[in-house]
Structure 1
């Protein structure tokens, strides 16, 4: 239980701006539960008096009961309104914090699975939003209600308070006893669902290959088998939950019997005490039931604990680039790139780039050659500061030769002057215009059309054409041209491309090579194709 509290508490810092709303939600939930409890106790008191004395309750009783019902109705509506609004804010806060962590720590370097990352970013946070917006308030309100009911019971009849306390402790023990098995089964269920999610993400990402090789039946069989395994585990978890719930119901029945017994023993069966007995039973049941509800909620938190642990791990991801503590401004005019004895490795593997140096003068066009795995893509990523080198330094240079280390350049300033086009550059779902504006959101349609013309795309696509997910309706050459046009819309001073002509037809390769050759700024292009590298006056070998 302590570890669960620690895991859930780790997510509180991003939610700090919402603490007033969380406290307000707890206050409303507590008032609503107290009103409901008061309705039950007051009703039992009125009914007990009517049965014992044979007369209707007085007018004050009816007025108080009506007022409580009205207050409960208003509070219920208000609680729903506040918790739903808070849930959206919690969702936004956690997503922003997680995406900010991912922006500082590129997943690719750590060989992480995109399906797991998507599960954390979407499914896990959606589970947690309801917990922090509603469940926390409900647990706090239930415990507050129990304390209030216990105080009232002790004030009226101390022995009833002892029965309530014993029942509450027994209910709490059920949560403790059922927590272990429920947590183990819940973790197993979550792992099965994660595996299923990863397989489906892989299948959707490789849909063309699956159809080409006729693997769709196998994918469906694996999905069905995984769903059945998950269903079996879910049934085991539900069986544990039903067993614990049944035990709590038995405890509540014992509490009712105990309250009646101690009341009869201590106060006898005179009319006044007999009329009070239903109210005491209602008070005791209300208090212990509140603890039972809280215990049930706590015992069902194991999927949330796993989700919170994954989200917390995402928030604590170490950055792959160090924060800029003492930023320096970039000068106007052309910029070059200087690699000073840089080394870099992925995770704990051997170095991909070792003690490598290169000076690219402002305005120079340089090609990077080398076999697959030599480190060309790594050099590209270091030049764009997607990663920091393990050793050495990368800097921008001006025409006088002055260096501006990337570690001291604000990210926003760097993105304005450097544009990157990778081999598998992704196009986004939406129109051509929306994709081009992701490069720079302040371009006119005329400027966007000019960019399409520069890459030879204006005769086969228009700004309002829909691309589909990842540009699925386009060929590889067409996607490469649009990705290059998107980079050109930024009007960068340094253009970095990575294997952009790989697997393209001769015509697409020629067009892209012409665009790179006509680019007025600095160009660094990695390629393994002789035709592409032949367009560069200077070619440097990597590896």
Structure 2
């Protein structure tokens, strides 16, 4: 990967940061003004020294006024630059994480064979590395380039020969970005991969603390982490050694450029002393040297930054890949209105396959009448959970249609329903449903909008949870303080609070004891709308008015009343 491709990778994230472009421009302008103020102070100081030594004239009031003004301006701009870049960094961090989360929410990672630890590493580690680049580095490189051009232009006005030396020195410094670039990028990418893999391992370990303790995996995890850290550290040392070598070469170029400016100025001064022409005053020489140092040092700083982009390229690629994930479902171009009243479900010749796997469903059809409670039976792996996910439109089928059906038999395909309308009509209770950190009230109200506490308490009573938990009780992360049956009841309550017309339940009683299963089944049986529940337990299916065998032929999988 060359510098151009690296910059393309970093540029790929700019569309997600479009709202922050004005902030980036403002950060560049403030940073450039601050850098120019510092350069002007350096040159004015050198000019004053030159005149004091060569002509024995102290600086006048105008010089003091300019210096004091620049010092005050530099102070204000430095503070403002930090304020602008820090505020921008927080916004960049939020924008990229929101874009990544939105992409994952639309693409439903569960359909693909992906590693959640790596996704977490992208969301946390990669984006945190990139925020500084977009909030500060871009402005820094732009400011350095502007300072170099301004210094070269000023030197050209004073002494064209000095400007020529500065341009040659700047070009030489810039070309150092090409030397050892392939090795530097390879080391940076290897280092980034090691650190990303390390983040994934740590995320896995933190998410499975019970297994780590139960199987005494801590020593092995610590040893693997230590080994991975050592490999990453070794790559870091090699990369930094290479950077120091290149930095030494650049310092030599800067020194050569300064010597060249002095030599060019000395030659012109000598020619002027010999009567060949009127050259600049010897007092200008320190100012020319200061311009050379300032200009070439600025381009050196920009080049150094550019050659350190390689660790960010892999991060940018991963973030861009996450943000650019194709959505699992597409928004309808002309959404249709859902009919009023109870709704049923209709599956017409539905086929679906997970990536890299055989079809989970092949031309499968079934119907559930409005208001009916239907069970979905079949062996593990037959596609019961897939049917529930398709009915919730987490994914779209590869072929066929899934419809919500009115009492008169008219169907509306899920692909033609606005997502907000669909989510208000259909609620899902998944076998791996997550309870969020916070209170019971917080969890019940997620996605439901405002509800009075009396209604929330009534739902808790309905699912049999009112006796052991209250609305203000804190659940902890993923309801860690609750049993499996308690979590199942609260997840069911959260779905019921949304007042859906269709309730989808996926294996929610799979790991419950008989008494809890009976209580949860009673709560589901008391729901007044349509229910489609998948289960492999006969006790749960026995409460349903109709059972659909997912392995049966299509003509045997239809609920009575819908033909």
TM-score between the two structures when normalised by the length of structure 1: 0.97
2:266 aligns with one of 241, 264, 267: 264
In 2, Cα distance between equivalents of 1:201 and 1:272: 66
> Contact (CA 8 Å) 1:393, 1:405: kept in 2 or not?
yes
Q: What is aligned with 2:532?
A: 524
Residue aligned with 2:281, SS: helix
Residue aligned with 1:368, SS: strand
In 2, Cα distance between equivalents of 1:292 and 1:113: 41
In 1, Cα distance between equivalents of 2:235 and 2:311: 13
Q: Which runs of 4+ in 1 moved over 3 A?
A: 269-273
Post-superposition offset of 1:439? 4.2
In 2, Cα distance between equivalents of 1:255 and 1:481: 75
In 2, Cα distance between equivalents of 1:221 and 1:259: 57
Q: What is aligned with 1:375?
A: 383
Unaligned runs of 5+ in 1: none
TM-score between the two structures when normalised by the length of structure 2: 0.94
Q: Which whole-Å deviations, capped at 9, do the CAs of 1:79-99 have from their partners, x for residues lacking one? A: 222222222222232222222
Post-superposition offset of 1:122? 2.5
> Contact (CA 8 Å) 1:178, 1:299: kept in 2 or not?
no
In 2, Cα distance between equivalents of 1:364 and 1:182: 65
2:211 aligns with one of 209, 212, 217: 209
Q: Which whole-Å deviations, capped at 9, do the CAs of 1:394-451 have from their partners, x for residues lacking one? A: 0100000010110010000000011101111111111111111114231122211111
Q: What is aligned with 1:47?
A: 49
Residue aligned with 1:341, SS: strand
| 2:309 maps to 1:309 | no
Task: Please identify, of 231-240 and 91-100, the stretch whose mean Cα deviation from structure 2 is larger.
Answer: 91-100
1:86 aligns with one of 85, 88, 105: 88
Q: What is aligned with 1:432?
A: 440
Q: Which whole-Å deviations, capped at 9, do the CAs of 1:296-327 have from their partners, x for residues lacking one? A: 11111112221211111122211111221110
Q: What is aligned with 1:233?
A: 235
Q: What is aligned with 2:516?
A: 508
Give the root-mean-square deviation of aligned CA atoms.
Answer: 1.5
Post-superposition offset of 1:56? 1.9
> Contact (CA 8 Å) 2:120, 2:203: kept in 1 or not?
no
1:300 aligns with one of 290, 304, 308: 308
Post-superposition offset of 1:272? 6.4
Q: What is aligned with 2:556?
A: none
Residue aligned with 2:403, SS: strand
Unaligned runs of 5+ in 2: 274-278, 552-563
1:13 aligns with one of 4, 12, 15: 15
> Contact (CA 8 Å) 2:43, 2:291: kept in 1 or not?
yes
Q: How many pairs were matched up?
A: 543
Q: What is aligned with 1:130?
A: 132
> Contact (CA 8 Å) 1:336, 1:494: kept in 2 or not?
yes
In 1, Cα distance between equivalents of 2:508 and 2:447: 17
In 2, Cα distance between equivalents of 1:16 and 1:473: 43
Post-superposition offset of 1:125? 2.0
1:110-149 matched pairs, under 5 angstroms: 110-149=112-151
Q: What is aligned with 1:442?
A: 450
In 2, Cα distance between equivalents of 1:20 and 1:456: 54
| 2:344 maps to 1:342 | no
In 1, Cα distance between equivalents of 2:74 and 2:212: 57
Task: Please identify, of 436-445 and 357-366, the stretch whose mean Cα deviation from structure 2 is larger.
Answer: 436-445
Q: Which whole-Å deviations, capped at 9, do the CAs of 1:359-396 have from their partners, x for residues lacking one? A: 11101111111111111111010000000000000010
Q: What is aligned with 2:276?
A: none
In 1, Cα distance between equivalents of 2:404 and 2:472: 37
In 2, Cα distance between equivalents of 1:245 and 1:153: 25
Q: What is aligned with 1:495?
A: 503
2:478 aligns with one of 470, 477, 482: 470
Post-superposition offset of 1:29? 1.4
Q: What is aligned with 2:298?
A: 290
Q: What is aligned with 1:106?
A: 108
In 2, Cα distance between equivalents of 1:164 and 1:19: 32
> Contact (CA 8 Å) 2:159, 2:280: kept in 1 or not?
no
> Contact (CA 8 Å) 1:420, 1:496: kept in 2 or not?
yes
> Contact (CA 8 Å) 2:436, 2:478: kept in 1 or not?
yes
In 2, Cα distance between equivalents of 1:535 and 1:35: 79
Q: What is aligned with 2:179?
A: 177
Q: What is aligned with 2:338?
A: 330
Residue aligned with 1:177, SS: coil
